[in-house]
Amino acid sequence: MIKAILIFNNHGKPRLSKFYEHYSEDTEQQIIRETFHLVSKRDENVCNFLEGGMLIDGSDNKLIYRHYATLYFVFCVDSSESELGILDLIQVFVETLDKCFENVCELDLIFHVDKVHNILAEMVMGGMVLETNMNEIITQVDAQNKMEKSEAGIAGAPARAVSAVKNMNLPEMPKNINIGDISIKVPNLPSFK
């Protein structure tokens, strides 16, 4: 079982949090903070497993994480998951994000956390791995987006226009916000399959 999936940046700002067990908001924040502290102090070239996810109850929990550019992707799992398998799953997740957002960067996650949730929902459901095949995931996500678009239809047009105007009026477009090297580079790892 996957107990939680967290994405936060190098400063510990949460970008996505998905808990498969219920915690109060305060506890969730605390878990995110502590996980960040554990993960961020580790060097780049050490192993990606951390034992004793004492944050979330259950003694056989492990933290399995990957660090991409400015973001940490952390999965908290119990002993029924294969460590290397989860590492690959994270890779699949990031590659999928990369495809869906076209060169994903932290800003995409910042502004479209709902979309990230939707993508994640096609991969992991209730803490169990639902689908690991990237093409299948993307197909389903695209189909749902298409449906959303068709629903918005004409009614959605003015809203989109307004949003475009709003963006224009703003001095800064989101993509211009300077946060350094933002694009998540997805390295080509030896594939799992």
Partner 1 sequence: MALKIVKGSIDRMFDKNLQDLVRGIRNHKEDEAKYISTCIDEIKQELKQDNIAVKANAVCKLTYLQMLGYDVSWAAFNIVEVMSSSKFTYKRIGYLAASQCFHEGTDVIMLTTNQIRKDLSSPNQYDTGVALTGLSCFVTPDLARDLANDIMTLMSHTKPYIRKKAVLIMYKVFLKYPESLRPAFPRLKEKLEDPDPGVQSAAVNVICELARRNPKNYLSLAPLFFKLMTSSTNNWVLIKIIKLFGALTPLEPRLGKKLIEPLTNLIHSTSAMSLLYECVNTVIAVLISLSSGMPNHSASIQLCVQKLRILIEDSDQNLKYLGLLAMSKILKTHPKSVQSHKDLILQCLDDKDESIRLRALDLLYGMVSKKNLMEIVKKLMLHVDKAEGTTYRDELLTKIIDICSQSNYQYITNFEWYISILVELTRLEGTRHGHLIASQMLDVAIRVKAIRAFAVAQMAMLLDNAHLLTGNMQRNGICEVLYAAAWICGEFSEHLEDPNQTLEAMLRPKVATLPGHIQAVYVQNAAKLFATVLRKHEGATDSQAAQETSQLLVERLPLFVQSANLEVQERASCILQLVKYIQKLQQKDVEVAEEVSALFAGELNPVAPKAQKKVPVPEGLDLDAWINEPPSESESEDEKPKAVFAKEETKHSRPRHTEVDEKELARRREARKQEQANNPFYIKSSPSSQKVYQDAPGVEHIPVVQIDLSVPLKVPGMPMSDQYLKLEEERRQKEKAEKKKKEKKKKREKHGKGKKHDSGPESEEDITPAHHVDIVTEEMPENALPSDDDDKDPNDPHKALDIDLDKPLADTEKLPVRTHRSEPLKSPGEDGDVESVPQEPKKRSSKEKKEKKKDKDKDRKKSKEEKKKKKKHKHDAEDEPAELPAEEPVKSEETNEVATPPTSTSAEASDLDFWLSSTPVAPTAKEVAAPAPAPAPAPETSLAAAPDSEADEPKDAEPEEVKCSKHKKKKQKKEKEKEEKKEKKKKRHHHHHHHSDGGEDSVQNGTMEEEEPLPPMSNYCLLAENSYIKMVYDIQGNLQDGSQVVVSVIFENKSDSFLKSMEFNVLDSLNSKLQRPEGAGPHDGLVVPFQLPPGVSNEARFIFSVQSIVMPQKLKGTLTFIVKSEDSSTHEKLDFKLHFTCTSYLITTPCYSDAYAKLLESGDLKSSSLRLEGVNMPFHHLLARICFHHHFSVVERIDSCASMYSRSIQGHHVCLLVKTADQTVSIDAKCDEPSLLGNVLDEIKQTFSQC
Output the six-digit token pair for 187.
């390295």
Q: Phi and psi (nearest 5°) for 64?
A: -125, 125
Which range touches partner 1 (CB under 8 A), out of 23-31, 68-76, 96-104, 180-188?
23-31
Report the alpha-carbon distance of residue 154 to residue 150 in Å, rounded.
Answer: 9
Q: Between 103 and 133, name the residue whose CB sits nearer to partner 1.
A: 133
| Interaction of residue 88 with partner 1, rule CB under 8 A | yes
Which burial class, exposed, middle or buried, applies to 112 when counting CB atoms under 10 A from its CB (0-12, 13-18, 19+)? Answer: middle
| Interaction of residue 136 with partner 1, rule CB under 8 A | yes
Output the six-digit token pair for 97.
């994000």
| Interaction of residue 132 with partner 1, rule CB under 8 A | yes
| Interaction of residue 101 with partner 1, rule CB under 8 A | no
| Interaction of residue 54 with partner 1, rule CB under 8 A | no
Output the six-digit token pair for 188.
């080509």
Report the alpha-carbon distance of residue 152 to residue 128 in Å, rounded.
Answer: 32
Neighbours of 179 (CB within 10 A): 13
State the residues that interact with partner 1 by CB under 8 A: 1, 14, 16-18, 20, 22, 24-26, 28-29, 43, 45-51, 80, 82-85, 87-88, 110-111, 113-114, 117-118, 121, 125-133, 136, 140, 143-144, 147-148, 151-152, 155, 158-159, 162-163, 166, 170, 174, 177, 192-193
